[in-house]
């Protein structure tokens, strides 16, 4: 028993004196490893007489448990000290400017245009509304007055997901208009919302991508007419392109969810590959719009005889191209840091109507 007492005293002293995790592990191996002192004593139990084994066996097991517990406690204390030292060593003073070599991140032009559009319409009293990227047929097509057989319902235009048994396939939304439906079904007029988000269509070239960004607007109130729509959009174009004079025209068009429908063009100057809004005699298409179709209002539980409204849709990627002179949509999605540095914006400058957008 004197060996057990001596080993315990030596082991506990060595454990307490261990100044590092490596030193502590060395003590553990020396006492409890295969060739350690405690393991050596445990190996002698087989040669002992039964009465002696009955006495020393529990004593050795208790010694092993006490040493293991001492190692565990010391290890926890050393790990806490090491972590504290690491935290002190790796502390970053966030109040200091970034190192010149690190540079400053840049805001993607698409996000910049999102912020600009939100600032302009926010100043007009619009609020932002959002919805899911994956939609069902009813919200994406039927509620919006798309008839059966419409080209948008075909595989060559729309990404359909695999359907379950006896179920219509879900779709990657082809526009943010389903959020209009969800809002009209869940809220009572007056409604004035702006809907930014990603949309998906089966297309890919210099001016079209399978995933792109769209902003739609919706106003539902009593007594709304095309004059309100025109005034709202002309004011938007003036603010977005930061010009005082805008000549606009509204060409008759067809959208299933609006009646009457129109595409809005603004007068511009095209020269040297640059488009300048507010000058020249050329025309530039900027968006689609119209009065919300009575069928859409009925599908959403609203009475067209009481409430009217208008809606419009903007292609954010295309607006960014027009305003900031980017010739091709595809680099938007290539994650090229050099391209982002060239076309990007300072993330610290928040666009505002009063303080300037860009």
Query: 40-49, 126-135, 216-225, 244-253 — which is least confidently predicted?
Result: 40-49
Q: What is the mean pLDDT of residues 5-29?
A: 87
Q: Are strands 274-277 and 211-221 parallel, antiparallel or unpaired?
A: unpaired
Same domain as 166, residue 120: yes
Instruction: Give me the CATH number covering residue 184.
Output: 3.30.930.10
Helix (H) or strand (E) holding 284: strand 282-292
What tens digit of pLDDT does each residue of 221-269 get? 999 999 999 999 999 999 998 888 889 999 999 999 999 999 999 998 8
Same domain as 337, residue 213: yes
Same domain as 221, residue 120: yes
Same domain as 279, residue 194: yes
Query: Is the C-alpha dihedral spanning 89, 93, 99, 102 positive or negative?
Result: positive
Same domain as 84, residue 144: no
Does residue 62 carry a pLDDT above 60?
yes
What's the rounded Cα separation, in Å, for the pair 318 and 329? 8
Number of structural domains (the chain) is 2
Q: Nearest Cα to 234, choosing from 219, 246, 252, 216? A: 246
What tens digit of pLDDT does each residue of 294-318 get? 999 999 999 999 999 999 999 998 8
Q: Is 353 part of a structural domain of the chain?
A: no
Q: Is 299 part of a structural domain of the chain?
A: yes
Q: Is 104 part of a structural domain of the chain?
A: no
What's the rounded Cα separation, in Å, for the pair 9 and 5? 6
Last residue of a domain, one of 89, 121, 147: 89
Last residue of a domain, one of 58, 89, 120: 89
Same domain as 284, residue 223: yes
Same domain as 83, residue 146: no
Q: Is 72 part of a structural domain of the chain?
A: yes
Q: Is 356 part of a structural domain of the chain?
A: no
**What is the rounded end-to-end Cα distance, in angstroms, of the chain?**
84
More confident residue, 151 or 333: 333
More confident residue, 4 or 99: 4
Same domain as 203, residue 160: yes
Q: Is 164 part of a structural domain of the chain?
A: yes
Q: What is the mean pLDDT of the chain?
A: 86
Instruction: Give CA separation, 17 vs 8, 24, 62, 264, in Å.
Output: 14, 9, 22, 81
Q: Is 101 part of a structural domain of the chain?
A: no
Does residue 358 carry a pLDDT above 70?
no
Burial class (CB in 10 A: 0-12, 13-18, 19+), 141: buried
Same domain as 144, residue 76: no
pLDDT score at 269: 87
- Cβ neighbours around 88 below 10 Å, total: 8
Q: Which domain holds residue 323?
A: 109-343
pLDDT score at 326: 80
Q: Is 99 part of a structural domain of the chain?
A: no
């Amino acid at each position: 028993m004197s060996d057990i007492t001596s080993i315990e005293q030596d082991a506990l002293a060595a454990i307490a004196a261990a100044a590092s995790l490596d030193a502590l592990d060395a003590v553990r191996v020396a006492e409890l490893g295969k060739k350690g002192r405690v393991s050596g004593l445990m190996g002698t139990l087989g040669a002992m007489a039964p009465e002696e084994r009955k006495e020393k066996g529990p004593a050795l097991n208790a010694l092993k448990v006490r040493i293991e517990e001492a190692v565990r406690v010391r290890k926890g204390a050393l790990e806490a000290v090491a972590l504290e030292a690491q935290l002190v060593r790796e502390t970053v003073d966030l109040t200091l400017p970034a190192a010149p070599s690190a540079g400053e991140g840049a805001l993607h032009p698409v996000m910049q245009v999102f912020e600009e559009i939100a600032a302009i319409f926010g100043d007009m009293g619009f609020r932002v509304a959002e919805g899911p990227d994956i939609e069902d047929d009813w919200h994406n097509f039927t509620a919006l007055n798309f008839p059966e057989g419409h080209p948008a319902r075909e595989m060559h235009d729309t990404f359909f997901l695999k359907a379950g048994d006896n179920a219509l396939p879900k779709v990657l939304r082809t526009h943010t208009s389903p959020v209009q439906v969800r809002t009209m079904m869940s809220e009572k007029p007056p409604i004035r919302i702006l809907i930014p988000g990603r949309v998906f269509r089966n297309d890919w070239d210099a001016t079209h991508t399978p995933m792109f960004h769209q902003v739609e607007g919706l106003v539902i109130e009593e007594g709304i007419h095309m004059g309100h729509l025109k005034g709202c959009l002309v004011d938007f174009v003036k603010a977005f392109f930061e010009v005082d004079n805008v000549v606009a025209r509204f060409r008759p068009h067809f959208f299933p969810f609006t009646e009457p429908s129109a595409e809005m063009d603004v007068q511009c100057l095209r020269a040297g590959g640059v488009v300048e809004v507010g000058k020249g005699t050329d025309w530039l298409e900027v968006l689609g719009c119209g009065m919300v179709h009575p069928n859409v209002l009925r599908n959403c539980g609203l009475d067209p005889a009481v409430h009217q409204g208008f809606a419009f849709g903007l292609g954010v990627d295309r607006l960014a191209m027009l305003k900031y002179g980017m010739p091709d949509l595809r680099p938007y999605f290539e994650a090229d840091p050099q391209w982002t540095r060239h076309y990007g914006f300072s993330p610290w400058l928040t666009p505002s109507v009063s303080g300037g957008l860009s």
